[in-house]
Amino acid sequence: MDNLAHSLVGLTSAKAGLERLSPYATTICVISANAADADFVSLLFGDRWTLLQHHRGITHSVVGTIAIGLMIPAIAYAIERIISSIRKRTPRIRFRGLLLASIVAATTHPLMDWTNNYGVRPLLPWSGHWFYGDLVFIADPYIWLVLGTVAFLLTSDTKRKMFGWSMIGLIATIVIGLASSQSGPEGNALRIAMAVWLLGIALAILLRRLQVLRGMGQRSAIAALAIVAVYWGVLAIAHRAAFANALSIANNVAASRGEQVMRVAAMPTAATPFRWQSVAETDRGIYRYVVTTGEASTVGNFARFGKPTGAEAQLASLAEHDRRAQALLGFARFPLARLEGDNCIGQALVQFADLRYTEPGAARGNFSVNIPVDCPSR
């Protein structure tokens, strides 16, 4: 998930009771809820392929989560001890309480990341196997709205905080507005989300003026987290129906071509539980199409990509030794290789892509790469 969602979960969790465990617990909850994404520092020591290789790696694993949960309160405790010594006052942090708050908040990060189709690797360093929840798009405005509304009502008690919340609301509104400008079903779903978002902001402002949640801080925060959990449950039901449709379509198409289905995925699209991006792999190809949670029929964008064979497969095998290809293939859930051009004279260009996010031929982004290889004749 995006870092706004992680921050809101950390803040709401604090307001749900974790903030009572120790002074500074709210700040630690927000930091711990985001800390797993510190793996972005790998970009400083390499390129985007280094980042792709390490993102959602050890910091998102069980080991990494425990380490983050322990390290952040330990650092905070040490800093506060030093400051207290300099100012000659008694330290206020209750380490055990801060430790519990940090571990709970840190655990929410890989859990939330598991719910989308990017996946996590919780068993590192022993196993690099990816796990996918396939429930929620990587950024969800409805989660922003539910958690953000409650967090705003519980924390906007000063002009400075009001300004901060105003900036967050403005930026999120711009992001949703820009995303909803696209055409087609995706744009329609986002335009509905935009309308709900604006209505939610207006309601949040009204509730603040009326001070509706006065004296209900912890209960309202718990309710917001419960609503998100129920939302996940509804999406899980929708995903089950979409997956059944995706599997039915894959079996029918594969049978008509004499192919055997190997695996199928139904993955969420932005702001709707009714439209799912599906990918099905057979022994001879990979299919990419869209299904709904209704009757088992494709909505559109149906495409088939054949797996490389013969000389094309030989060139793809050579290209796999490239560092960039290895990074992409280690991440890709549905990798596909394609040779650009029909003849191999001198040098060939092999295109790798992860069909979850892009199709072969895309020259930019972290989910496709073009690798030049020498032809076998050379």
In order along its 378 residues, the chain shows pLDDT tens digits of 999 999 999 999 999 999 999 999 999 999 999 999 999 998 888 888 899 899 999 999 999 999 999 999 999 999 999 998 888 888 888 999 999 999 999 999 999 999 999 999 999 999 999 999 999 999 999 999 999 999 999 999 899 999 999 999 999 999 999 999 888 888 899 999 999 999 999 999 999 888 877 667 889 999 999 999 999 999 999 999 999 999 999 999 999 999 999 999 999 999 999 999 999 999 999 999 999 887 656 666 788 999 998 888 888 898 999 999 999 999 999 999 988 765 666 678 889 999 999 877 655 556 888 888 887 764
Residues 246 and 270 in one domain: yes
Angle between helices 25-34 and 95-114 (to 10 degrees): 30
With beta carbons less than 8 A apart as the criterion, state whether 141 and 271 touch.
Answer: yes
Residues 129 and 15 in one domain: yes
Residues 123 and 50 in one domain: yes
How many beta carbons lie within 10 A of that of residue 94, not counting itself? 17
Residues 129 and 4 in one domain: yes
Residues 3 and 122 in one domain: yes
Domain end among 75, 102, 133 = 133
| Among 335, 277, 283, 288, residue whose Cα is nearest residue 309 | 283
pLDDT at position 314 is 87
Residues 298 and 347 in one domain: no
Domain end among 79, 99, 133 = 133
Residues 27 and 68 in one domain: yes
Distance CA 263, CA 58 (A): 26
pLDDT at position 366 is 65
Domain end among 103, 133, 163 = 133
* Residue 362: burial class (beta carbons within 10 Å; 0-12, 13-18, 19+): middle
Structure token digits, residue 212: 């509706």
pLDDT at position 375 is 76
Cα 171 from chain centre: 19
Q: What is the domain count for the chain?
A: 3
pLDDT at position 88 is 83
Q: Whole domain around residue 46: which residue ranges?
A: 1-133
Residues 294 and 370 in one domain: no
Is the preceding omega at residue 91 within 30 degrees of 0, hence cis? no
- Residue 340: inside a domain, yes or no? yes
Residue with tokens 């001198």: 346
Residues 114 and 33 in one domain: yes
